[in-house]
Chain A
Amino acid sequence: MRILVVEDDALVADAICRGLGEAGFAVDHVGSAERAEAALGSENFDLAIVDIGLPGADGLSLVRRLRSVGQGLPVLILTARDGLVDRVNALDLGADDYLVKPFELPELAARSRALIRRMRSAVSAQLTVGGLAIDLAGRVARIDGEALDLTRREWSILECLALQAGHVVAKERLLQAIASWDEEISHNAIEVYVSRLRAKLGAAASIRTVRGLGYRLDDAAH
């Protein structure tokens, strides 16, 4: 998994490169939007981490240019500004996620992994969450190569959670995901399906309950 880091601050850039390197990513670093464009034009990356405040053209205009030329790789924006306008701008322009400085390196690594995972699942229909391998096209979930025996509703819930792995998925959303098979499903029913799923996943991945909101699928190690 190869990441391009576009950051002009040497201290931050160095920390990101080392941190992501330790987390198992291949990392390249450039200090300006112009050099980033050149790099992305000539080589393949799985993710770009772009700081908004760059010398010359800023990070937002870089994202805009990438999207306008049809460059579809996921972009994670780094920003030191916490105003909503910047966030909305970044996401509107086509960035996939953002992180406000100062950030924790493990969080950056986790977000990067999630973005790359989402991108790959869109391309290959394959998802990996912890020890769980999910084949979206074949509608099969495997642990250590062993296919799990899931009902259709359990599969729908797992699919929904896996596509948003690391993010809280609202209970209503899960209800909608299985509603096509059933008209009257209560919130309690969701809880039943989730507890069955938990038993089947074992230690490979964990489904956290967020009281009053929904569920979150995590790597078991998380």
Chain B
Amino acid sequence: MTPHTEHATSVRRRLLSLLLAPLALLLGTGILIDYISASKPIPIAYDQALVNSALAVAAHVQVDEAGHISAVLSPGAEAVLRSDRYDTIYYLVIDPRGEFVAGDRGLPVASSATRNPSYLDAVFRGDPIRVASYRTQTSAGPVTVSVAETRHKRDHGRRRVLASLFATDLVQLAGTLLLVWIGVRYGLRPLTALRDQIAARSARDLAALDVAPVPLEVRPLVHALNRLFETVREAADAQQQFLANAAHQLRTPLGGIMAQLDLLARDPAAAAVRERVLALREGSRRAAHTANRLLALARAEPSALVAGDIRSVDLRALVADAVAAQLDRALAAHIDLGVEAEVVRVPASDWLLRELLANLVDNALTYTPIGGRITLRCGNEGDGAFLEVEDDGPGIPPAERARVLERFYRAPGAPGNGCGLGLAIVDEIARLHGAHLVIAGGAEGRGTRIRLRFPRVV
């Protein structure tokens, strides 16, 4: 569950890109169509006004008896013709041979043979213009009257239409995109809720996910996850069950052999072979010790915690039990085995911590000489808790401290006949609990201090 999903497929990104890109295209096309259809009536209306002006000018065309064509506009009429707020108006009257009759010389003429009136876009005196030409029949032949205007009005009108279209369409576009974005976001909310539910779980939590709030589309996924959890849980249970059976099958005969050899060692009838019996008993004890350690190590696999028995554990009670359990051994060796503990509770597996402590105390008792001193401590430390076993034995040289955690490793010249698994078990169990293990020298530069720091307390 990493929040880092840059390259992963994102349903939200897919939805947004699948919806937003076509929507943007659709809305853009809409704007274009709107613009074209809205700007069409404008030139038609303006062209019609030009033709009306041409017709008005044509009304002033006269042919005298000699066939001479004239078009005289009174100053008033010309003023009316040329009066316009935005544009400059031109006009031109030419006779059938194309000769100038009246108006503005050089004005381009729209001379379509088929259409009357006809139109032309041209440039006159440096300005773009629109020309409407109208052929009127006279006794002297067709006279062409052209009226033209600059394009200011038209451009202005088109810009205004365009601007208002753009404004409304942009609002519509933005609104649509926003609604899609919000919709996708809210639509995916059940998925993000599921993500949060999974993210909030502990890595070892294999309880089934709640299916009720999950949308139908994702349920198969959640069901698959739950089946996977179930399988892992069953596998972990099966492994722990197997180990429990293995423990039984190993320990029962070993226990029988040890007890029988104990009896035999005391039996007067076996006095002649007593030394050999004692050697056998020591051997069987070592085998039992190693079997116990191996089983403990196997049971400290992560599957042990998957099988699940994390609860609030009082370290002080564990420390007291660990001391009580090994007190006889300590008394026999005249070792002062004691406790400096305050009540502190950590989330942990009770029996795994017991196993851990048993190993630490066992180690300390093995390596502390007669008359030595061993102290178990626990208490609060910062936000967490610590658990510590200190002895005043020979200690572990700094160079050996990392290696003693390896399985079956025994420091050179280590006394006794340990199997080299004790600290490996301690390390394994510490890891399972997220506890930090430190091996240090004891106070006054002697002995060993093994300290675990638990990150959290209950």
A contact set with B: CB distance below 8 Å: 9-12, 14-16, 18-19, 22, 51, 53, 80-87, 100-105, 167-168, 170, 208, 210-213, 216, 222
Contact = CB atoms under 8 A, between A and B. Distances in A.
Nearest to B373: A211
Contact of A22 (B263, B295, B323): B263
Interface in B4-58: none
Contacts of A83: 240, 244, 299, 351
A159 B137 CA distance: 145
A82 to B, nearest CB: 7
A207 to B, nearest CB: 12
Contacts, number: 111
Contacts of B249: 80
Contact of A211 (B240, B288, B336): B336
Given A82-B295, A212-B339, A53 B248 contact: yes
A210 B323 contact: yes
Interface residues of B, number: 44
Contact of B341 (A82, A87, A212): A212
Closest 4 CB pairs of A and B: A211-B338, A11-B256, A15-B259, A212-B339
A213 B324 contact: yes
B248 A82 contact: no
Contact of A102 (B258, B320, B340, B349): B258
Contact of B259 (A19, A100, A210, A213): A19
11 contacts: A9-B252, A15-B256, A19-B262, A82-B355, A86-B244, A102-B255, A105-B259, A212-B338, A212-B376, A213-B324, A216-B327
A86 to B, nearest CB: 8
Contacts of B257: 11
Interface string B292-335: 10011001000000000100000000001001100110010000
B269 to A, nearest CB: 13
Question: Which of A10, A85, A87 is most buried by chain B, counting CB atoms within 10 A of its CB?
Answer: A85
Given A18-B263, A168-B320, A210 B256 contact: no
Identify whether the interface residues of A are mostly helix, strand, loop, or mixed.
Answer: mixed
Question: Which of B256, B257, B350 is most buried by chain A, counting CB atoms within 10 A of its CB?
Answer: B256
A12 B256 contact: yes
B206 interface: no
B253 A11 contact: yes
B266 interface: yes
Contacts of B324: 167-168, 210, 213, 216
Contacts of A86: 244
A89 to B, nearest CB: 12
B246 to A, nearest CB: 9
Contacts of A167: 324
B442 to A, nearest CB: 16
A15 B351 contact: no
Interface string B212-225: 00000000000000
Given A81-B248, A105-B262, A167-B324, A213 B256 contact: no
Contacts of B259: 12, 15-16, 19, 102-103, 105
Contacts of A10: 256
A83 B299 CA distance: 9
Contacts of A81: 244, 247-248
B112 interface: no
A170 B249 CA distance: 37
A170 B320 CA distance: 9
Given A84-B309, A167-B324, 9 more contacts: A53-B252, A80-B251, A82-B295, A82-B355, A84-B354, A100-B251, A103-B255, A211-B336, A212-B339
